[in-house]
């Protein structure tokens, strides 16, 4: 049993007056009912070993009650799972299923962003994509691979790129990457390392017992999660 | 004293936002031959109110996830407005498979944004999935 202590911050956007528990679906973020902006609730903590009280604060009738879904606890033992109730995909004879190759991130400065992920995830440049020894680094497309050579991430130069403003309104993230570490000490170490490499923490839920995760923004502003899985 | 080995997180999966995640998950499940993580299948009865779905490879390795965002606005790329931010690259082994992938993607609800199949070096299509996220399919 755990106690979840929520300290409501005032809205740090515009109105600076409203407290709310209207959690935004899919994120450890609360929506201000005053100005309808979103902000990150950083003061939510769980205290182990204390019985859960009945819900203390009155909850608005329209408030969603579900916990944020993302990311989820690790899935154990796929092989032991019940049979998939969904019919397997029926493909025409000889059909080829496309393979996921890589996820591509847009940025104005793709070298900076590639260097971040290269160092953070221990990836390698595709041959020919390393920074040039001489002359200008005018790469418009960079690929990072796993040590075995398989593609992991790619970076596409976009001179007009505007960083996501999530969780605030404006520019949505659209797509994000989840990373996993095996345990809580690894999560803390990974976060420290990410910050030292230029990321910033958007939400720290590392101590949550049910879904331990930290949300960060990479140097180009793309949110990503590190989960214990 | 030597610094401890840094922790290198593993890429788990890529997550796509949408207002209606079931049709989007169904699109990718069928197009890429993926399977639901146990428990994420559509319910046999009752409402389907999933706000988070995971698709895996048939061997259980994570592939894609889908996050409900009731305020999701589809990317307008390549037009200005709502940027794509991230996209997926998919590969097929040859040109014949590329054409078949196009037919199947359209049948499943994608639309073609760019047809660059005449490119001698790297024939490819750029599609938008049913939620509007651009993705590429090319020979590789």
Residue A45, pLDDT score: 41
Q: Do the bridges between strand B10-18 and strand A200-205 make them parallel or antiparallel, or are there none, so unpaired? A: unpaired
Of B16, B35, B97, the CB nearest to A175: B16
For residue B68, is pLDDT > 80?
A: yes
Residue A53, pLDDT score: 43
| Cβ proximity of A39 and A167 under 8 Å | yes
Give the residue-averaged pLDDT of A62-76: 40
For residue A20, is pLDDT > 70?
A: no
Instruction: Give the pLDDT band of residue B15 (cuts 50, 70, 90).
Output: very high
C-alpha to C-alpha distance for B18 and B26, rounded to whole angstroms: 13
Give the residue-averaged pLDDT of B43-54: 93
Residue B46, chain A, CB below 8 Å: the answer is no
Q: Nearest-CA distance from A132 to chain B in Å?
A: 24
Of B4, B7, B14, the CB nearest to A190: B7
Q: Cis peptide leading into B78, omega within 30 of 0?
A: yes
For residue A63, is pLDDT > 50?
A: no
For residue B63, is pLDDT > 60?
A: yes
What residues of chain B lie within 8 A of the CB of A72, using their CB?
52, 54
What residues of chain B lie within 8 A of the CB of A216, using their CB?
none
What residues of chain B lie within 8 A of the CB of A84, using their CB?
35-36, 38, 41
pLDDT digits (tens, 9 = 90+) for A88-139: 777 667 767 889 999 999 999 999 999 999 999 999 999 999 999 888 999 9
Q: Which of B137, B37, B54, B64 is nearest to A175 (CA)?
A: B64
Which regions of chain A does DSSP assign to beta strands (E)? 2-6, 29-31, 38-40, 44-48, 99-107, 124-125, 141-145, 151-157, 175-181, 200-205, 213-217, 223-228
Q: Nearest-CA distance from B91 to chain A in Å?
A: 5
C-alpha to C-alpha distance for B63 and B11, rounded to whole angstroms: 10
C-alpha to C-alpha distance for B23 and B25, rounded to whole angstroms: 5
Residue B77, pLDDT score: 87
Residue B4, pLDDT score: 62
Across the interface, do B67 and A26 touch by the CB < 8 Å criterion? yes
Consecutive H or E run containing A115:
helix A110-121
pLDDT digits (tens, 9 = 90+) for A184-227: 999 999 999 999 999 999 999 988 877 889 999 999 999 999 99
First to last CA, chain B: 46
Instruction: Give the pLDDT band of residue B62 (cuts 50, 70, 90).
Output: very high
Structure tokens at A186: 């690894």
Q: Cis peptide leading into A167, omega within 30 of 0?
A: yes
Residue B125, pLDDT score: 95
Of B33, B44, B85, the CB nearest to A175: B85
Interface test mutation site (partner A, options B24, B52, B56, B86, max chain A beta carbons within 10 A): B86
Q: Cis peptide leading into B97, omega within 30 of 0?
A: no
Of A89, A96, A193, the CB nearest to B7: A193
Give the residue-averaged pLDDT of B118-126: 90
CA distances from A104 to A65, A93, A100, B31 (A): 34, 31, 11, 19
C-alpha to C-alpha distance for A189 and A178, rounded to whole angstroms: 16
**Residue that the structure tokens 């199949």 belong to:** B117
For residue A27, is pLDDT > 80?
A: no
| Cβ proximity of A173 and B16 under 8 Å | no
Phi-psi bin for B69: left (phi > 0), alpha (psi -120 to 50), beta?
A: beta
């Amino acid at each position: 049993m755990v106690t979840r202590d929520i300290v409501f911050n005032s809205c740090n956007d515009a109105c600076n007056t409203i407290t709310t528990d209207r959690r935004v679906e899919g994120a450890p973020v609360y929506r201000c009912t005053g100005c309808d902006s979103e902000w990150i609730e950083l003061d939510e903590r769980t205290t182990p070993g204390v019985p859960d009280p009945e819900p203390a604060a009155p909850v608005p009738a329209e408030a969603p009650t579900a916990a944020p879904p993302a990311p989820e606890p690790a899935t154990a033992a796929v092989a032991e799972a019940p049979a998939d109730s969904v019919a397997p995909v029926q493909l025409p004879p000889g059909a080829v299923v496309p393979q996921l190759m890589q996820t591509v991130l847009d940025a104005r400065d793709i070298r900076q962003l590639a260097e971040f992920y290269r160092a953070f995830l221990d990836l390698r440049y595709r041959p020919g994509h390393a920074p040039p020894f001489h002359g200008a680094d005018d790469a418009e497309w960079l690929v990072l691979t796993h040590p075995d050579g398989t593609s992991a991430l790619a970076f596409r130069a976009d001179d007009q790129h505007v960083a996501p403003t999530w969780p605030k309104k404006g520019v949505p993230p659209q797509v994000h990457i989840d990373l996993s570490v095996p345990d809580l000490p690894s999560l803390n170490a990974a976060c420290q390392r990410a910050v030292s490499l230029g990321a910033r923490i958007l939400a720290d839920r590392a101590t949550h017992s049910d879904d331990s995760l930290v949300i960060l923004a990479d140097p180009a502003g793309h949110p990503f999660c590190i989960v214990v899985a | 004293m030597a610094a401890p080995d840094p922790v290198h997180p593993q890429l788990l999966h890529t997550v796509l936002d949408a207002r209606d995640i079931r049709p989007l998950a169904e699109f990718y499940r069928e197009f890429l031959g993926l399977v639901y993580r146990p428990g994420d299948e559509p319910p046999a009865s009752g409402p389907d109110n999933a706000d988070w779905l995971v698709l895996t490879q048939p061997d259980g390795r994570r592939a894609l996830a889908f996050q409900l965002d009731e305020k999701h606005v589809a990317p307008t790329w390549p037009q200005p407005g709502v940027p794509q931010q991230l996209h997926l690259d998919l590969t097929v082994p040859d040109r014949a498979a590329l054409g078949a992938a196009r037919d199947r993607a359209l049948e499943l609800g994608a639309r073609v944004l760019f047809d660059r199949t005449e490119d001698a070096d790297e024939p490819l299509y750029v599609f938008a999935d049913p939620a509007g996220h651009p993705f590429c399919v090319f020979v590789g």
